[in-house]
Structure 1
Amino acid sequence: MSESELRMLFNHYAERLERYLNHKLRDPQAAADLVQESFLRLAQRLEQQDDVDDKKAYLYKTANNLLLDHVRHQQRWQMATSVDDAEATLEYLPDAAPQLDQTAIAQQELERLANVLATLPERTQLIFHLHRFEHMTQAQIAQQLEISLSTVEKHLAMTLSAMMTIRAS
């Protein structure tokens, strides 16, 4: 395949492929990188073989595989980061068991936070639960609940604001 034919394919499919990947990732830069890598792999494949029967299908399949690899890499990175954060937090925890009055104060604060959370709208509570306890990203929550990313951000900001109010008092 000539360079001009590859350029024609790129002009025809790149934008659509990038939109598809960006819809899945919600990361325009990563989507653009994956499109470039998909076309690079197509070019390499065409150098090795005479032809690919369905170039569009090959591009989308390659892009989808790269997307899965990217997501797996991100998940491993997030997991490694959270383990590092947990270890760093443990270093600062006091060695002795908390005193009885500290435990009572912490319990009261938890009860106040639970009461504040109970006053929030049900949708806000659900989004907070998915983010905090199910460890879902904001993008994953938006996709699962079929809402925009900014809506998820607003609900989490509302939760944080309510919690900060109770912590300040």
Structure 2
Amino acid sequence: MTVAALAVSCSSEKQSTSSPAPVSSVPFSSEKNQEVFAGMDSCEVLRSTTSESTFESYNPETLESDNGCRAEKARYGNVALYFVGNEGIDGLQSNKGAKISTKVAGREAVRLAGAAGQGNCFIGISVTSRSRATVNLTLSNGSDDQACTDAEVIAEKLAPKLPQGN
């Protein structure tokens, strides 16, 4: 069974608003058979990556893949991590903001500032040509630039924990 993926970011503000994030046009499998991330739990990895940032309430999500996690921090915002085993960074598209090629800890990556609204940054980190890890950070109050600065710090800490691609 396949399901089309549309990532949605929610703000941690009192208002319950959702904004579409970058769209992945490739369906993801509902089975946990994505070998490149075998044995990796997104909530465990996100918790260890953000341990110094006092995020709380780490909860599994399945918006972009079946191996995602979101953590929140009061009055700050939220961060999500996804392991996507069937699509690389080239498949990321956004109808808001520019898609910028970059590097994260020596890995190919893309950055989409404001892809899910004001104060949001989405970073896709290449693991293989057909897999990626994504960091999606949304601030309760703040600019896209600040969200990207904070998301890049998390992405840099995350990258060494990712499998080496072929």
Query: Normalized against structure 2, the TM-score is what?
Result: 0.31
Higher relative strand content: 2
Higher relative helix content: 1
Work out which structure has the larger RCO, using CA pairs closer than 8 Å and 6 or more positions apart in sequence: 2
Query: Normalized against structure 1, the TM-score is what?
Result: 0.30
